[in-house]
């Protein structure tokens, strides 16, 4: 491999890939595992990530009526924990660049009937808000 080729590639798993392709490859991984992502976290962490999440939520010191931005929130597992705390007066905004992950979270919100949770399906919050591409799931 030449020096030029080494400069233009990066690691992806156990292989070298062109730098410009890595973001798409990572996105494909998350699209492919979205439906089982939370289960995978349970298995890989032996459930300890749930304790860490609860601890994180407690440290957030959220109160009813607050607005929360769950940035890079994936399937919205934190959003689901934040929603009952902020209550009907508050709101939770879930933003993630991977639409498949957000879709899993949105489905979960509809099933559980969560309060004002906005799931943003866009690469940036600014783009999303300027294009008004906000999907609302509310009780």
Domain ranges for the chain, please list them: 9-137
Return phi, psi of residue 119, to 5°.
-105, 125
Residue 80 in this model has a pLDDT that exceeds 60: yes
Q: Tell me, what's the pLDDT at 25?
A: 85
What average pLDDT does the segment 43-67 reach?
91
The residue among 62 and 96 whose pLDDT is bigger is 62
Helix (H) or strand (E) holding 74: none
Q: Give 105-134 pLDDT, tens digit per residue.
A: 766 665 455 545 555 555 444 444 443 334
The residues with which 120 forms a beta bridge, in sequence order, are 95, 134
Residue 8 in this model has a pLDDT that exceeds 60: yes
45-49, 92-96, 101-105, 134-138: lowest mean pLDDT where?
A: 134-138
With beta carbons less than 8 A apart as the criterion, state whether 95 and 128 touch. yes
Return phi, psi of residue 36, to 5°.
-115, 10
Q: Quote the pTM value.
A: 0.66
Comparing C-alpha atoms, which of 94, 96, 92 is closest to residue 123? 96
Instruction: Report the topology of domain 9-137.
Output: Rossmann fold (3.40.50)
Record the tokens describing residue 106, joined without a space.
């949105």
Q: How many other C-beta atoms are found inside a 10 Å radius of the C-beta of residue 10?
A: 14
Helix (H, G, I), strand (E, B) or coil at 47: coil
What average pLDDT does the segment 87-95 reach?
84
Expressed in angstroms, the distance from the first to the final Cα of the chain is 57
């Amino acid at each position: 491999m030449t020096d030029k080729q080494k400069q233009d590639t990066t690691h992806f798993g156990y292989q070298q890939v062109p730098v410009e392709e890595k973001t798409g490859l990572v996105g494909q991984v998350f699209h492919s595992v979205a439906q089982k992502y939370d289960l995978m976290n349970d298995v890989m962490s032996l459930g300890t990530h749930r304790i860490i999440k609860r601890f994180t939520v407690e440290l957030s010191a959220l109160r009813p009526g607050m607005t929360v931005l769950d940035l890079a929130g994936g399937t919205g597992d934190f959003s689901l924990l934040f929603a009952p705390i902020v209550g009907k007066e508050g709101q939770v905004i879930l933003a993630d660049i991977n639409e498949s992950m957000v879709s899993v979270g949105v489905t979960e919100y509809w099933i559980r009937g969560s309060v004002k949770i906005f799931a943003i399906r866009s690469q940036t919050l600014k783009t999303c808000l300027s294009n008004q591409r906000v999907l609302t799931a509310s009780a």
